[in-house]
Amino acid sequence: MAILSVILPFHNEVAGVRGLFRRLYPVLGQLDLEYEIICIDDGSSDKTFEALLHEREFDQRLKIVRLARNFGKETALTCGLHLAKGDAAITMDSDLQHPPETILPLVQKWREGFQMVYAVRNDRKTDGRLRRLFSLAFYRIFRTIGDIKIPEGAGDFCLLDRAVIQAVNALPERNRFMKGLTAWVGFRQGTVPFDVGAREGGVTHWNFFRLVRFAFDGISSFSTFPLRIWTWCGAVVSFCALAYALYLVFDTLVRGVDVPGYASLMVGVLFLGGLQLLSLGIMGEYMARIFIEVKARPLYFIAEQKGVDPEPHV
């Protein structure tokens, strides 16, 4: 019988652990599949790990890994995919915002032959207004300048066939923007809709600055447009400057020297200064990411594990 790996990242989710498993098991029971549940404790400072160990007393199919510190959700998911033994894996949030019942249509779609199935949210009612606006802007920008297409409303709730798992595991980059990586590798992709649930206990880990950083991580991993745009800006500004210089020469020859012009001078200097700093900043962002890739540090360290083979399955 085929095996399904369910990958769950946890960061300070002790309040929701019991509720999650209570809803997950009936769903897994309905599937005509073997399963393993891979729980990644992403450096929680509460009793999440103990709660997971407690769950394992009832079900030995639970595999639990505690990362050495908080590496972030993308890295936790990467670790889960390294460990997954299944013919397919499902990644989902552990705060019950991704309803376990949606696993059924995901698996159904997989059986129809899709190798990468995204669960796409019906609406964003559970998000604040700022976050909704931000997501919309992100997907617009990403679609316009990114090299790949992410289905609108798709997140990290998805099913990956073994072929996709292997492809994603083979990607060496340290900046793991999972949504992008899964879309980039290709294969037959499908979607199923779902309604986002309310968060079951605990608090969200996002704030505005983290979101901005995450968004730029995503864009910079899949687009060089922010780097290239300065070539065009530079060309346009230079052209304008040349035209203005010609005008000034002409004007001086015809009307003589004209001293006033402080305002236009200041505007020019400040505008160009700002533009240069901005372009330098963007280059710095890319350079910082190159720096991280070049260092080639391991993505994560495992501090403790229960039920996991010592050798990750890469």
Applying CB under 6 A, the residues found at the interface with ligand UDP are 9-11, 13, 42, 70, 72-73, 76, 93-95, 97, 204-206
Least spacing, CB of residue 161 vs ligand UDP, in Å: 23
Residue 25's alpha-carbon distances to 6, 30, 103, 213, 271, in angstroms, are 11, 9, 11, 36, 60
Burial of 141 (0-12, 13-18, 19+ CB in 10 A): middle
Nearer to Mg ion among residue 77 and residue 185 (C-beta): 77
Least spacing, CB of residue 75 vs ligand UDP, in Å: 8
Residue from the set 5, 75, 91, 97 that interacts with Mg ion by CB under 5 A: 97
Nearer to ligand UDP among residue 93 and residue 161 (C-beta): 93
Least spacing, CB of residue 197 vs Mg ion, in Å: 9
Least spacing, CB of residue 291 vs ligand UDP, in Å: 22
Least spacing, CB of residue 72 vs ligand UDP, in Å: 5
Nearer to ligand UDP among residue 210 and residue 297 (C-beta): 210
Here the tokens at position 235 are 């060309």
Nearer to ligand UDP among residue 30 and residue 204 (C-beta): 204
Residue from the set 13, 95, 156, 161 that interacts with Mg ion by CB under 5 A: 95
Print burial letters for 242-258: b (CB count within 10 Å at least 16), e (below 16). Answer: eeeeeeeeeeeeeeeee
3-state secondary structure of 189: strand
Cα dihedral 12, 15, 16, 18 in deg (nearest 10): 120
Q: Which residues bind Mg ion (CB under 5 A)?
A: 93, 95, 97
